Amino acid sequence: MKNLMNHLPYKIAYYDAQGHALFDNGGADGSFLRDDVKQDLPSWIREELLLSDSKSLQMQIPTDAFDKILFAHYQASLDDQGQLLGFSETVYDFRQALTSYLNETGQAIVGWSDVTSGPSIKNDLYDDLEN
* pLDDT at site 5: 81
21, 36 Cβ separation under 8 angstroms: no
Indicate the CATH number for domain 2-111: 3.30.450.20
The low-confidence residues of the chain, meaning pLDDT below 70, are: 32-37, 112-131
What does the domain layout of the chain look like in residue ranges? 2-111
Distances (CA, A) of 69 to 57, 94, 99, 126: 16, 5, 11, 39
Cα–Cα distance measured from residue 124 to residue 118, given in angstroms and rounded to the nearest whole number: 16
What does pTM read for this prediction?
0.74
Sheet strands (E) in the chain: 12-16, 21-24, 56-60, 70-78, 84-93
Amino acid identity, residue 25? N
